[in-house]
Amino acid sequence: MPIRGARTMTWRPVGVTDTLDTTDMPPGSMLSLSNLIPAPTTRGLFVPRPAAVQYPNTVGLGSGNPTVFLILGSLVYGMVPSANGYDTPFIYNLNSQTSTIPAGVTSSNVPTTQPTNGDWTPPTMAALGAYVIVTHPGFQGPANGYIGWFDLTTPSAPKWVSGNLQETGGLPSPNLLPSPPAAVCVYGGRAYYAVGNAVQASDEFLPLQQTNAGQVLTFGDSTAITALAGLPLNNVQGGIIQSLMVFKGLQNIFQVTGDYTGIPSIWNVNTLNIATGTLAPNTVTPTPRGLAFVAPDGVRVIDFGSNISDPIGDWGSGIKLAFQNAVYPSRMCAAFNMQTLRISVQQVQATQQAQQEYWFNFGLKAWTGPHTIPTVFIKPYQNTFVCSLALPAAS
């Protein structure tokens, strides 16, 4: 019998797909690239993703895992469940690796801790002037506040306060929030609060004050606003125009440009080109291509011309089903950094419905995952990410 030489076959993965038929897919489409990422220097080569490293002195910060945080410089401002049934504000210094609790925290001015399962309205945070504003589903109005804020008027002595809008000196604002808002976002030097189907705009650079009753925008029907996010827009005459994207349920995204000046026409409101939205507020995240978010049919991007893309991974070219099959859509979260969009989802099809991540590399236009990281909140920081992981609290 003649002996023939073996033929060498080279197989180069290109990314993950959830298609049922790879006939028309690019060669190298994979069903799984678990905990692997593209090698930074070599196309077609995948390497283990970097391991997560725990920041020192964060175990014991609370009885649970931080539910929301905002990174300003090297300082992390956030909220973490405590053993007393409410979320405690904290400040963590990423450089010195030390944490502090701001002055003024009492059991009556902090939001109640929410269950870790089920759909919810995620907390949000925004910074303007000397204040870091917090919205939280655990605020109940007169009982413990409508919003909370870190008062950084004296940076070396931060304070925590909750309540309603107020003027400098603690006097009530001429106009108040009628109920605890679902979200806050800074746009045009004002804090915008999502209250039901409307947004209320604070005075310029005074996020806790609303002087005029007309500083309110409503958006059609009674469907509640689910998310707010800023997006710079390309101007055909040159330069950049700032805008506010208002996500209203699953079927509408509104673009707000201009500003309140006492003349209603100065505020411009337009509906975007595709009738879609999101039930996952924490997936709305800026990228170099625009504002990414998880829509009902997958990940989409609003570009700098206010056009909504088709779903990334459509028709079996990437990942869609994981996001469509989310157990609790409002629990998903995402962040972008270093060409990588990370999206965390607890999906029905995962073993024991585990919390996983899928990563999309914008440079290669390729998905990887699932990554076995139980992320509940995530933000970019320098050339990495800071995450809150759904791990058992330390005893």
pLDDT digits (tens, 9 = 90+) for 369-391: 999 999 999 999 999 999 999 86
Residue 1 has pLDDT above 60, yes or no: no
Task: Please report, for the chain, the start and end positions of each structural domain, with discontinuous segments joined by +.
Answer: 313-395
Which residues have CB under 8 Å from 293's CB, separation 6+?
227, 247, 278, 280, 283, 284, 285, 299, 300, 301, 302, 334
- The distance of Cα 245 from the centroid of its chain, to the nearest Å, equals 14
What single letter denotes the amino acid at residue 352? Q
User: What is the predicted pLDDT for the residue at 395?
Assistant: 33
pLDDT category at 308 given cuts 50, 70, 90 is very high
Residue 318 near residue 343, CB atoms below 8 Å? no
**Paired strand residues for 103:** 159
Q: How many Å is the Cα radius of gyration of the chain?
A: 23
Bridge-based pairing of strands 15-16 and 29-30 is parallel
Segment 30-53 mean pLDDT: 90
Residue with the larger pLDDT of the pair 172 and 22? 172
**Model confidence pLDDT, tens digit, residues 281-292:** 999 999 999 999
What single letter denotes the amino acid at residue 234? N
**Model confidence pLDDT, tens digit, residues 328-359:** 999 999 999 999 999 999 998 877 888 999 99
| Percent of the chain with pLDDT strictly greater than 70 | 94
- H helices of 288-356, in order, are 321-324
**Taking Cα atoms as reference points, which of 376, 307, 295, 304 lies closest to residue 342?**
376
Q: In what order do the strands lie in the sheet with 240-248?
A: 225-234, 240-248, 252-257, 268-271
**Phi, psi (rounded to 5 degrees) for 5:** -75, 145
pTM of the predicted protein model = 0.93
- The distance of Cα 31 from the centroid of its chain, to the nearest Å, equals 27
15-19, 30-34, 169-173, 285-289: the lowest-pLDDT one: 169-173
In the block, residue with structure tokens 């593209």: 38
**Model confidence pLDDT, tens digit, residues 227-260:** 999 998 877 666 778 999 999 989 899 999 999 9
Report the C-alpha gap between 98 and 79 in whole angstroms.
Answer: 16
